[in-house]
């Protein structure tokens, strides 16, 4: 759809609900058989602010509301994100490849689904097919909470470790959501991360055991973990 068609379709529309599915956002419009689906990828986010407020980053789309004083801006540093207007969100690329939401998957479902994946546990968590909604940073935090080395093979995990992983997944996301809520307040464009235990903490002391936190990889694919309390796994890239 062109920018013009996009604007025409949304003109006069009323947002009825906003829902998150994995990393996607779904805006439902009142009385319209069309959804606005946003895949923010790595750096897409929204800024809700009065018109004229300082831009929190490069603005690509601005939604103007009838009722001031606010407008909603889609900002994206890397311009990787995508916005779709569609009647069938399932048709949006990668939307239907997503596993169940990380906060909704049950323990049994998680354990059962995990059986069909091989390879390293961090990669399985971040790819989104097992469960959706876990990015690179939160995978590091979850694995640290579960005391699992990120490069452990899924097939090497014991039943207890699988249980620990499910528990860590749930608690990390629930507790982090609360931390983000407190730090973010109305500034929804912020990305609070000060509470992370290991991610982006390479070279610092592990808050659990004091060992220096390791760093592997570069750019958006950094992996941080603690060799002291997340032992095992094939060490690569070192």
Among 206, 214, 223, 233, binds Zn ion (CB under 5 A): 206
| Options 21, 60, 153, 208; binder of Zn ion; rule CB under 5 A | 208
**Site string (151-190) toward Zn ion, x via CB under 5 A:** ----------------------------------------
Q: Does 205 bind Zn ion (CB under 5 A)?
A: no
Give CA–CA dist 166/160, Å, rounded.
10
Tell me how many residues contact Zn ion (CB under 5 A): 7
Phi and psi torsions of 30, nearest 5°: -65, 130
Piece of the chain touching Zn ion by CB under 5 A; list 80-88, 149-157, 168-176, 209-217:
209-217
202 binds Zn ion (CB under 5 A): no
DSSP state of 28: E
Closest among 62, 63, 59 to 29, alpha carbons compared: 63
For Zn ion, give the closer residue by CB, 76 or 141: 141
Choice between 75 and 213, CB closer to Zn ion: 213
Residue placing its CB nearer to Zn ion in the complex, 47 or 224: 224
Please give the structure tokens belonging to residue 185. 């307040």
Q: In the Cβ-directed half-sphere of 64, how many Cα atoms lie within 13 Å? A: 7
Residue 103 binds Zn ion (CB under 5 A)? no
Structure tokens at 54: 């300082």
Q: Give the nearest residue (CB) to Zn ion.
A: 206
- Selected range binding Zn ion among 76-84, 98-106, 151-159, 207-215, rule: CB under 5 A: 207-215
Residue 57 is a binding residue for Zn ion (CB under 5 A) = no
Q: CA–CA distance from 171 to each of 74, 143, 146, 166, 233 (Å)? A: 30, 12, 10, 9, 23
Nearest approach, Cβ of 156 to Zn ion (angstroms)? 20
| Gap between the Cα atoms of 34 and 9, Å rounded | 9
How far CA 90 is from CA of 5, 100, 113, 125, 154, in Å, comes to 21, 14, 21, 22, 29
Residues that bind Zn ion (CB under 5 A): 206, 208-209, 211, 226, 228-229
């Amino acid at each position: 759809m062109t920018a013009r068609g996009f604007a025409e379709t949304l003109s006069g529309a009323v947002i009825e609900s906003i829902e998150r599915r994995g990393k996607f956002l779904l805006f439902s419009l009142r009385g319209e058989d069309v959804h606005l689906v946003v895949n923010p990828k790595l750096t897409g986010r929204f800024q809700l602010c009065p018109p004229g407020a300082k831009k929190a980053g490069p603005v690509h789309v601005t939604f103007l509301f009838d009722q001031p004083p606010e407008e909603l801006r889609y900002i994206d540093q890397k311009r990787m994100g995508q916005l779709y207007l569609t009647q069938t969100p399932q048709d949006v690329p990668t939307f239907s490849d997503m596993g169940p939401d990380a906060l909704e998957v049950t323990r049994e479902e998680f354990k059962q689904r995990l059986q069909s994946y091989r390879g390293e546990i961090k990669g399985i968590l971040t790819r989104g097919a097992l469960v959706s909604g876990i990015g690179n940073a939160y995978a590091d935090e979850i694995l640290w909470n579960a005391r699992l080395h990120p490069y452990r093979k899924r097939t090497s995990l014991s039943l207890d470790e699988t249980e620990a992983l499910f528990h860590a997944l749930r608690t990390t996301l629930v507790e982090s959501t609360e931390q983000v809520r407190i730090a973010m307040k109305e500034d929804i464009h912020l990305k609070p991360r000060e509470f992370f235990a290991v991610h982006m903490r390479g070279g610092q002391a592990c808050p659990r055991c004091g060992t220096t936190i390791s760093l592997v990889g570069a750019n958006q694919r950094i992996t941080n973990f603690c060799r002291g309390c997340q032992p095992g796994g094939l060490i690569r890239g070192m």
